[in-house]
Structure 1
């Protein structure tokens, strides 16, 4: 058996009844609907509803309905004490429908709570059932205070009758829609102009309602009026612009054309209006225009292109900007960019000249390196062969005198000093020759020369130097091997001067198509400022040596974690068998 309505007061057919107020409040939570006879308990019921306690659909039986006209606002329908049971039944159905309607419109309320437009629901008697919070901002009135009031009272008297007639025409026909513009009286007594759309709907209770959405167009209408009044001013401003501005259909037909005097001979406006632009201008420029219009899209923005024209005054450059203007039109803004383009062309020419000069300087630097290496090799051979041979001959001559003066102790002592001095000079000559151009580099290749130099460096500085080799570096071309060797020398010199290191590791790795050399130490490292300004570390010279042979060089380092110089050279591939 389905649950029955609960009545506080005299019983009704098919309903449970109680006369105890506390018992009624307890049972009210489980009842599907409530009927309350408020006689003698009016204030208690009113306080109960005002407390916000949730309750099922409620009908108030009021002996004097005019005494408390706010039952509807508190969420209850009402009937008079003389109402028949069927009247209470209908009121209960209406209250239930109102409750269902409130639940079903909860989501709707969430959507319109922050709407800028004015949204309202009006029942068949013209009373507000709902008024959106935007009424506070738009009209300066409390929307809650309007619930149950006649909606037409807020419409300007001159517009009230037409609005009521439109409402009455539509309210009885489900889905019918009416539109009208009307004035609404704001809370401060001023008038606001609204455009409203009303749609007739049927509620869950089967009763007719009107859903009205109204937009405040007061400011828009004022703005439109101001725009119309200022059209001549904007036209004057347009006439003062130095650009060619045209309104063109997307098929190219010219609708409007503003041509400043400087462009008058190039673009005769009267001759172009109504014409298809791409048919009236040179074919190549017409193609650019058609392509630009095809690319224009509201979400992408303007499309810009440039072209050159030859006039009696010489070559000029134009820039056209195509801007979307509605679904079927574009705006073309054309300006003279000759000074800008000429400046760009001059800058490009200067940049090309600079790059050519830099290439020539690099070629000259590479040539100077080659000449210097050749001169070093020549001096090394001269020192080693000529001075070495002469010093050897002198030593033999001293030996001859020693044999002749074997009985003279003083002479032997002096000759022994001379032989020691000659031997030391011979050693120095050999070192000088090796520093000028180590023969081991020419005879045995880069890896062996690097090991030889590392040993000399370790003896001179006391540092531990480790050389790692992979690949066949003896086949590396001489000019590349020389550049790599000199970079290793410079890197080791920097380690000795600046690194405060205890160990250096040199990697020489030769591949078929590239040579990689790396010199890394465990010293104090480099800070970012030193890496940016590497001139004090000989970075410029090493980098130029690498670049002269098509290579690249990097210097890396972290404070406290050492530094590394890495260089890579491309190698010519060996001829295929």
Structure 2
């Protein structure tokens, strides 16, 4: 009786184990196929299949069980899995085998198979559908390949560095930029990026900027080439941070701007040469003005004075002798001589005002303001306090001529009624301000049309002269190491501001 009960118990336990095993097979997210063979492993018949295999193969249990595996699942033969089944059956050694199923070079299926032989001589294939994961991997590989092709073929240098100054990643363009044959050579050779900088302070400034703002744009610095020569590099980079906000690395692009820098240097040198030439021409012009004015004074002026004295003496001597007609002509000649003398004086003043030489810039500005006002009817107010010491003559000349040019522009273009001139000299330097209450202009429009005042297309000739007048004013300011700025707004007048370093006459 006890033996029967024990047997019954064992049978029930076996049934429970079978149910658990079956439930396990049906609920796990993998496919299981059990094969049996009746011809020593030449032909394999599907004996059992779980629900996972049904889902993967998209076939029902009834469509699979009892079928020759080659008929039910043709890819088993084409993929080579059938040979694995035969080998495992014969050797008893489990094997891992992956199957890739492709259609028109596109991956349509991927199986990760583990093949075992049971003690019952049945062969079990446990496998998982890895198609989605494999497709993602292949897309990533293709994307990485595209990125790598771009990375290696782009003409801009690409880099990734540690904050401490070691290269992590370098593309061929960057390595070539610095004279290295390969990125690997550059990464190995450059142990401290700061040593690449001609001025090591530039590297520290780069780090301060990127750590403060998170990026740098157009950061230019002179750096060393592998052969020891110097090259100019422009860098765009940003900081890569972890979740806590700590900087992991810097990454960005670099461009070799050596040729551009060389061209800029040559252009600056040419500009400096032109300005030196311009300054010299201004000096020659002023010297010639002074010489010509002196010549007029010493020769023409004195001769005209002598003629005037002689005519007045003649007029007194023959007053009672000659006819009224001759006396009238003589008086007309004296008036004409006086007018000519006055015109010569004006020409002499325009060429080189003696008041500028004798009394200084402020006095000359006040004198010229009175003359300008009498000629144009525009009120001119001159203010300021001149220093006890005379400025360098070149500064006085430049500021006086700038004032003349600005007032000429005002008379021709602004329609102003009042002009205010202020001269300020202090420890900061010399500041000359010329403001009119005219119609003003749109400075942005002027820049587009390259005109100084009103950008009227009907007045191209006058505006061209005004533009060259502004250029002349700027060049005069630059010739004495000054800066000229024009401020204007339509309907609100125009202001010319000139700032010059203070240099006294030696």
Please report the TM-score for the alignment, with normalisation by the length of structure 2: 0.54
**Structure 2 match to 1:417:** 332
**Structure 2 match to 1:348:** 261
1:255–1:434 Cα change, 3 Å: closer
Q: Counterparts of 2:335 and 2:407 in 1: how far apart (Å)?
A: 32
Q: Counterparts of 2:446 and 2:170 in 1: how far apart (Å)?
A: 61
Q: Counterparts of 2:296 and 2:377 in 1: how far apart (Å)?
A: 28
Q: Counterparts of 1:253 and 1:570 in 2: how far apart (Å)?
A: 46
**Structure 1 match to 2:438:** 523
Q: Is the 8 A contact 1:447 1:474 kept in 2?
A: no
Q: Counterparts of 2:166 and 2:421 in 1: how far apart (Å)?
A: 74
**Structure 2 match to 1:369:** 282
Cα deviations by residue, 1:400-458 (Å, 9 ceiling, x for unpaired): 32233121233322221111111111111111100100000000011111111111111
Residue among 273, 294, 302 paired with 1:381: 294
Q: 1:512: Cα distance to partner?
A: 3.7
Q: Is the 8 A contact 2:391 2:504 kept in 1?
A: no
Q: 1:251: Cα distance to partner?
A: 12
1:530–1:396 Cα change, 3 Å: same
- Aligned residue runs from structure 1 range 98-497, under 5 A: 158=25, 160=27, 222-227=131-136, 242=152, 281-282=188-189, 285-288=190-193, 308-309=225-226, 341=256, 344-407=257-320, 408=322, 409-472=324-387, 475-497=390-412
Tell me the SS of whatever aligns to 1:286: coil
Cα deviations by residue, 1:183-229 (Å, 9 ceiling, x for unpaired): 9xx9xx99xxxxxxxxxxxxxxxxxxxxxxxxxxx99x654333556
Q: Counterparts of 2:419 and 2:332 in 1: how far apart (Å)?
A: 39
Tell me the SS of whatever aligns to 1:559: coil
Q: Is the 8 A contact 1:301 1:324 kept in 2?
A: no
Tell me the SS of whatever aligns to 2:191: helix
Q: Is the 8 A contact 1:467 1:505 kept in 2?
A: yes
Q: Counterparts of 1:410 and 1:253 in 2: how far apart (Å)?
A: 105
Q: Counterparts of 2:378 and 2:167 in 1: how far apart (Å)?
A: 83
1:259–1:388 Cα change, 3 Å: closer
Structure number with the bigger relative contact order (C-alpha 8 A, sep ≥ 6) is 2
Tell me the SS of whatever aligns to 1:475: coil
Tell me the SS of whatever aligns to 1:388: helix
Q: 1:160: Cα distance to partner?
A: 4.9
Tell me the SS of whatever aligns to 2:411: helix
1:472–1:503 Cα change, 3 Å: same
- What stretches of structure 1 of length at least 5 have no aligned partner? 1-155, 163-181, 191-217
Cα deviations by residue, 1:30-68 (Å, 9 ceiling, x for unpaired): xxxxxxxxxxxxxxxxxxxxxxxxxxxxxxxxxxxxxxx
Q: Is the 8 A contact 1:508 1:515 kept in 2?
A: yes
Q: 1:511: Cα distance to partner?
A: 1.7
Tell me the SS of whatever aligns to 2:327: helix
**Structure 2 match to 1:560:** 491
Tell me the SS of whatever aligns to 1:411: helix
Q: 1:300: Cα distance to partner?
A: 7.1
Q: Is the 8 A contact 1:523 1:561 kept in 2?
A: yes
Cα deviations by residue, 1:139-164 (Å, 9 ceiling, x for unpaired): xxxxxxxxxxxxxxxxx9855599xx
- What stretches of structure 2 of length at least 5 have no aligned partner? 1-22, 30-50, 60-127, 197-202, 453-462
Q: Counterparts of 2:447 and 2:183 in 1: how far apart (Å)?
A: 62
Corresponding position: 1:542 with 2:473? yes
Q: Counterparts of 1:452 and 1:257 in 2: how far apart (Å)?
A: 69
Q: Is the 8 A contact 1:245 1:332 kept in 2?
A: no
1:331–1:471 Cα change, 3 Å: closer
Q: Counterparts of 1:453 and 1:429 in 2: how far apart (Å)?
A: 16
Q: Counterparts of 1:355 and 1:413 in 2: how far apart (Å)?
A: 66
Q: Is the 8 A contact 2:240 2:251 kept in 1?
A: no
Q: Counterparts of 1:266 and 1:481 in 2: how far apart (Å)?
A: 60
Q: Counterparts of 1:379 and 1:442 in 2: how far apart (Å)?
A: 15
1:553–1:512 Cα change, 3 Å: same
What is the number of residues matched between the two proteins?
Answer: 345
Cα deviations by residue, 1:239-274 (Å, 9 ceiling, x for unpaired): 9984799999999999999999x99x95699xx9xx
Q: Counterparts of 2:364 and 2:404 in 1: how far apart (Å)?
A: 11
Cα deviations by residue, 1:120-154 (Å, 9 ceiling, x for unpaired): xxxxxxxxxxxxxxxxxxxxxxxxxxxxxxxxxxx
Q: Is the 8 A contact 2:386 2:425 kept in 1?
A: yes
Q: Counterparts of 2:171 and 2:447 in 1: how far apart (Å)?
A: 58
Flag the structure with higher helix content.
2
Q: Counterparts of 1:415 and 1:286 in 2: how far apart (Å)?
A: 99
Tell me the SS of whatever aligns to 2:419: strand
Tell me the SS of whatever aligns to 2:192: helix
Q: Is the 8 A contact 2:160 2:251 kept in 1?
A: no
Calculate the aligned-residue CA RMSD, in Å.
Answer: 5.5
Cα deviations by residue, 1:334-353 (Å, 9 ceiling, x for unpaired): 99x9xx63xx3222211111
Q: Is the 8 A contact 1:446 1:474 kept in 2?
A: no
Q: Counterparts of 1:567 and 1:442 in 2: how far apart (Å)?
A: 21
1:426–1:239 Cα change, 3 Å: closer
Q: Is the 8 A contact 1:526 1:556 kept in 2?
A: no
Tell me the SS of whatever aligns to 2:342: helix
Please report the TM-score for the alignment, with normalisation by the length of structure 1: 0.48
